[in-house]
Structure 1
Amino acid sequence: MIDFHCHLDLYPDAEAIVDELERRRVGVLSVTTTPAAWTGTTRLAKGRPMIRTALGFHPELAGERYRELELFDRFLPETRFVGEVGLDGSPQHLHTWDAQTLVFDHVLTACERAGGKVLSVHSRRAASQVLECLDRHPGLDKVILHWFTGTKAELHRAVERGCWFSVGPAMLSGARGRSLVSEIAPNRLLVETDGPFAQSDRRPLNPWDVTHAIDGLADLWGTTRQGAAQVVRANESAVLTIGAQN
């Protein structure tokens, strides 16, 4: 099983987390929040084939870190995974909207030009705007919408575009999240934790807690845990295969 969106570098005991996930044979897409974090975060994955590191530029940090776009361009050839990137329309981040859109468009343009990138995209309170940006880059066909919280109309638009979706225990614990996930075809779903930000019982989720997301999907689909896991593993293989084609 693969946790398709986890901030490994932001756990206070990151090395211990990495050792444990390797013991448990759990894969991780280790997303970063700024290009400056790339070098240190890739060290966590050294010699650990279960971890893939994504080059990110979180929209919440775009306003203060936009000058790191040069670093983003420098490191992009080193990975086929990009995340966490996107837009955030929350009231506390609207004052950086211009910087967010500048950074996100730069990221999308660079990824489309490079080809073969798999993106993990943040779209909180900005789903329509994220989809508009993606529509301007039709060459990007490997987009995973992380913890999607848009409307059902926006969800259907993302589905029509061919987006994938990563969902975690936190999203599946609420009625609204379950309602949205029920609208997504099972063959477009992946699991995530968004640890250490997402929590369960007041503790940060760990990468191996993706099993709780499998339980949630099994319940939603009316199948067994084994049946849900089989579907998700097939989806993981599909994403990793399309990501490796270029």
Structure 2
Amino acid sequence: MIDMHCHLDLYANPGRVIAEADKREAFVLAVTTTPKAFLGNIRLTEGRKRIRVAVGLHPELVAARHREVDDVRKFMAQTKYVGEIGIDGSPDHAPSLKLQTEVFSTILKNAEGYGGRILSIHSRGAATVVLNVIEANLSKSLPILHWFSGTRKELDRAIELGCWFSVGPAMLRSSKGRELLASMPRNRLLTETDGPFATDGDAPLMPWDADRVLPVLAELWNCSASEADRDLHANLRNLVSTLDHVYAA
């Protein structure tokens, strides 16, 4: 199982969740909302071979913490994963859209300066702006659009730009989410939960709940759930090996 976007440190009992994910042999990308949280996640997940930690600065926090972008750049030296980053265009955060765009652009330029990074990107209400920044700044890094909710036209553009996508059970509750999934490239797709923010009723989704996407993929791809799972793991290997190739270039 693969959870490519999960806030491990924000569960009520992160140690228990981490231990269970490890027991189940789940690959988890622990995204962070601030660079300070990156160090905390490194400590929390020490010794867990299938858990990777990304350094991030969540767009919802940029207005208050934009000066921490220098710490994001600094910690990139310790990880090939960056996230959660991006732009949020929802009404509550629209006033900081210009600043968010500047911070997002700076992070992408820094990722390129390090030779490329795997990026988990937030684009709610701002898909076109996010894609503009990706197009202007990326050539080595690999962008993964987390819980993409843009238009079909924006999805087509994202595909043309080489973006990857991570989808979770919460996204697939809407007809729009399922329609977008049907048009995403099979070889550039990964699963996620966005737990504990994404929930199942009152309960937060857990990293192993990413597997709930498998029956949907199996139906969409006309294959078994186990075949869909194998394809996702092949995608993950290709993602990581592509970046390794960039490093070697």
Contact 1:144 1:166 in 2 (8 A): yes
Name the CA distance, whole Å, in 1 between partners of 2:152 and 2:183. Answer: 8
Once the two structures are aligned, what percentage of the paired residues are identical? 46
Give CA-to-partner distance per residue, 1:76-127, whole Å, 9 cap, x none.
1011000000000001101111221121011011001111310000000100
Contact 1:197 1:204 in 2 (8 A): yes
Q: What residue in structure 2 maps to residue 91 of structure 1?
A: 91
Q: What residue in structure 1 maps to residue 207 of structure 2?
A: 207
Give CA-to-partner distance per residue, 1:53-91, whole Å, 9 cap, x none.
000011000000011122112211011000000000001
- After the TM superposition, which of the residue ranges 50-59 and 199-208 deviates more from structure 2? 199-208
- After the TM superposition, which of the residue ranges 216-225 and 30-39 deviates more from structure 2? 216-225
Partner letter of residue 21 of structure 2? L
Q: Write out aligned runs for 1:142-221 (5 A).
A: 142-221=142-221
Contact 2:34 2:55 in 1 (8 A): yes
Partner letter of residue 242 of structure 1? T
Query: Structure 1: where are the runs of 5+ without partners?
Result: none
Name the CA distance, whole Å, in 2 between partners of 1:9 and 1:105. Answer: 26
Query: Structure 2: where are the runs of 5+ without partners?
Result: none
Shift of 1:141: 4.0
- Tell me, what secondary structure is at the counterpart of 1:169? coil
Q: What residue in structure 2 maps to residue 65 of structure 1?
A: 65
- Tell me, what secondary structure is at the counterpart of 1:187? helix
Q: What residue in structure 1 maps to residue 52 of structure 2?
A: 52
Shift of 1:231: 1.2
Aligned residues: 246
Partner letter of residue 193 of structure 1? T
Q: What residue in structure 2 maps to residue 136 of structure 1?
A: 136
Q: What residue in structure 1 maps to residue 231 of structure 2?
A: 231
Contact 2:146 2:165 in 1 (8 A): yes
Name the CA distance, whole Å, in 1 between partners of 2:11 and 2:113. Answer: 33
Name the CA distance, whole Å, in 1 between partners of 2:27 and 2:138. Answer: 29
Q: CA RMSD in A?
A: 1.1
Name the CA distance, whole Å, in 2 between partners of 1:157 and 1:100. Answer: 21
Shift of 1:12: 1.2
Shift of 1:150: 0.3
Partner letter of residue 104 of structure 2? F
Contact 2:111 2:141 in 1 (8 A): no
Shift of 1:222: 2.8
Partner letter of residue 154 of structure 1? E
